[in-house]
Amino acid sequence: MVKMKNIVRSLFFTRDASDDELRRLIDSEHFDPLFERANEVRHLHFGDDVYLRGLIEFSNYCKNDCFYCGLRASNRSAVRYRLTHDEILQCCDEGYRLGFRTFVLQSGEDPSFKDEDICQIVHSIKTKYPDCAVTLSIGEKSYNSYLAYFQAGADRYLLRHETASDEHYRSLHPQNMDPVHRKECLRNLKKIGYQVGSGFMVGTPGQTLDNLVQDLRFLQELEPHMIGIGPFIPHGETPFAHEAQGSLQRTLNLVAILRLMFPQALIPATTALGTIDPRGRELGLQAGANVVMPNLSPVRVRKLYTPYENKICTGEEAAQCRRCLERRLESVGLHSVVSRGDYPGVRR
Ligand code: 5AD
Ligand code: FES
């Protein structure tokens, strides 16, 4: 049998491995050479720089009913909110002062925001802050809607594929959600010219090692610019309330594998990772992540945007969060940079 160390070496040189080798890496117990190599690759392409994205969670209304997510439409105990156009701009004002040059506008799939509304919001941010990138993360839309947002100035789009296995996808979503459509959305976003982010959850109920290998294969085919992954964390008001949370080790293994497979990708150390372990984000960075996404939403709505339970950073003002993160970055020898942080070589 090929030694683990040789699998890591060949993943480093060829950016690929067999399905069996990937399964072994994903399933390994903290294997130092994997993390050392991943760190080396991050350092090679990005030095000690970590990119900041200011996250603005502007609506927690959602028409979907994903079995894992606390924002699902059937969660009647969720207190719903929407930010106004002006409130969103105020978040950007504060973010800009704090050094953010990317704003990520995220929401549930909220039909009350029409395409014109999204275009207006994007346009006013880009007019006021032409040196900033705007990222949208608002779910599955038609080709023409995506095109309209892009023409209004949106630079990037995040849409996790969640799982590449059609069968597993169906076990996590109601029947009206279609895995084929979701993948088509991602291809449309790329065709239009967005910098595209995809990703998946680790440890969703029933997920197998083969499912995770399928996720890696799907990403190899899609070639996204950004890849966000995080552990599944149960939420009490969902059908998965009593399921186990995803494993920290497995998530970190996958961050490191992603760094080796996609050396230039922008990979966040996610809030979900920070939620299952107090040093989860730092560990994510040491496994090869190079992005953090502090919250810029008004504190009064923070606790209401909860796809999963015990989400961190819901009580802190943006400035506090920013300082806290800087210290965390420094604790692992990294620092944040005031820059848009585009995918190397891509910017329109
Ligand atoms: N645990 C972890 N991540 C979750 N997400 C949604 N619900 C959960 C959960 N219970 C993730 C999904 C979604 C992103 C915004 O949050 O991957 O794409
Ligand atoms: Fe948000 Fe520490 S990063 S409070």
pLDDT for residue 347 is more than 90: no
Q: Are strands 335-337 and 49-52 parallel, antiparallel or unpaired?
A: parallel
Output the average pLDDT for the chain.
97
Does any domain span residue 348? no
In a domain, 117, yes or no: yes
Share of the chain above pLDDT 90, in %: 97
Look up the pTM and report it. 0.97
The HSE-up count of residue 285 (CA atoms within 13 Å, CB side) is 27
Residue 192 near ligand 2, beta carbon < 6 Å: no
CB atoms within 10 A of CB 29: 6
Burial class (CB in 10 A: 0-12, 13-18, 19+), 190: middle
Q: What gap in Å lies between CA 125 and CA 184, rounded to an integer?
A: 28
Quote the domain boundaries for residue 81: 2-337
**294 within a domain of the structure (yes/no):** yes
Q: Find out whether 266 and 49 touch, Cβ atoms under 8 Å.
A: no
Distance CA 3, CA 138 (A): 43
In a domain, 268, yes or no: yes
- Structural domain includes residue 14: yes
Q: Is 235 in the pocket of ligand 1 (CB under 6 A)?
A: yes
Instruction: Decide: 139 and 64 in contact? Cβ < 8 Å.
Output: yes
Domain annotation covers residue 42: yes
**What is the mean predicted confidence (pLDDT) over 139-147?**
98
Mutation test residue for ligand 1: of 55, 56, 60, 69, the one with most atoms within 8 Å of CB: 69
Whether ligand 2 lies within 6 angstroms of the CB of 202 is answered as no
Q: pLDDT band for position 51 (50/70/90)?
A: very high
Cβ-contact 132, 85 below 8 angstroms = no
DSSP-derived letter for residue 159 is: -
User: What are 223's two structure tokens?
Assistant: 């070639």
CB count in 10 Å sphere of residue 315: 10
Rounded to the nearest 10 degrees, the angle between the axes of helix 318-331 and helix 85-97 is 40
pLDDT of residue 2: 83
Q: 240: Cβ below 6 Å to ligand 1? A: no
pLDDT for 111 equals 98
Q: Please determine, for residue 5, whether its predicted confidence score (pLDDT) is greater than 90.
A: yes
Domain presence at residue 62: yes
Specify the CATH number for the domain of residue 183: 3.20.20.70
Predicted confidence at residue 163, as pLDDT, reads 98
User: In degrees, to the nearest 5, what angle opens at C-alpha 285 toward C-alphas 253 and 53?
Assistant: 120
Give the model confidence (pLDDT) of 150-207 as tens digits: 999 999 999 999 999 999 999 999 999 999 999 999 999 999 999 999 999 999 999 9
- Provide the number of structural domains found in the chain: 1
Residue owning the nearest CA to atom 4 of ligand 2: 321
> CA 101 to CA 105: how far, in whole Å?
13
Q: Would 347 be classed as within a structural domain?
A: no
pLDDT band at 1 (very low <50, low <70, confident <90, very high): confident
Tokens 């439409």: give the residue: 73
Q: Is residue 348 over pLDDT 90?
A: no
Please write the tens of the pLDDT for every residue from 242-275.
999 999 999 999 999 999 999 999 999 999 999 9
Instruction: Judge whether residue 142 has pLDDT over 80.
Output: yes
Indicate whether residue 177 lines ligand 2 (CB < 6 A). Answer: no
Convert the pLDDT of each residue in 88-117 to its tens digit.
999 999 999 999 999 999 999 999 999 999
Is 258 near ligand 2, meaning CB less than 6 Å away? Answer: no
